Amino acid sequence: MTSSVYSGTIPTSAGHYVYRLWAADGTCLYVGCTGERGTRRVSDRLYGHRCQKPWWPEVARIDVAAFATPAEIITEERRQIGELGPVHNKALLGRCSNGHDVTAPGARNDGGRCVQCVRDYDKARLASPQEKRRRAETRRKWRRTPHGKARTAAIARRYYWRRKISSDQPALW
């Protein structure tokens, strides 16, 4: 490893860095890295946190360490997360974004998503008024033809117009 000395100054040049975000009471909030897929500036990554993370106002101090290769920053990030147990590093600590434990077998589905979160989302979505309205609309679209076969509304309209035209004049098809 090139460097594991953390300093409070944020570098302005692009590179491979590991950063730690601390609360005022000394609690480690987040450990992250930048430069694992090519060099990148730390300030760009921190700007993303500042814009997207609801916990950003809790950040009181930032420490940054520089490394030579992407492999080094990934190793260091995982080591720091294991040692410090940051509050908001949920993926590498075995928690999903909603705090469910995803270390148990079967806790993640084939897409890597938390099974409990997917189940909760589906339950909420199915109970929503919009979903109930959509399902009722789908049921209304289905009609029965004179032969008893289920058809969509578009096909039912086609049959209606065929019958209407055939009563007025001979069908062209």
Averaged confidence pLDDT in the chain: 76
In tens, the pLDDT along 70-94 reads 888 888 888 888 888 888 887 666 6
**163 domain residue, yes or no:** yes
- Report how far apart, in Å, the C-alpha atoms of 121 and of each of 72, 117, 136 are: 37, 6, 20
In a domain, 144, yes or no: yes
Statement: residue 171 has pLDDT above 70: no
Characterize 2-41 residue by residue with b for buried, 16 or more Cβ atoms within 10 angstroms of its Cβ, and e for exposed.
Answer: ebeeeeeeeeeeebbbbbbbbeeeeebbbbbbbbbeeebb
- The answer as to whether 173 is a domain residue is no
Q: How does pLDDT run across 97-126, given as a tens digit for each residue? A: 677 776 677 776 656 677 777 777 777 666
Which of the residue ranges 14-18, 94-98, 161-165 would you say has the lowest mean pLDDT?
161-165
- Domain contains 126: yes
Domain that includes residue 40, residue range: 16-84
Residue 73 included in any domain: yes
- Residue 133 pLDDT exceeds 60: yes
Model confidence at 146: pLDDT above 70: no
Do both 75 and 119 map to the same domain? no
pTM: 0.55
Confidence of residue 139 (pLDDT cuts 50, 70, 90): low
Q: Is residue 5 part of a domain?
A: no
pLDDT, greater one: 72 or 128: 72
Find the range with the poorest average confidence among 9-13, 73-77, 151-155: 151-155
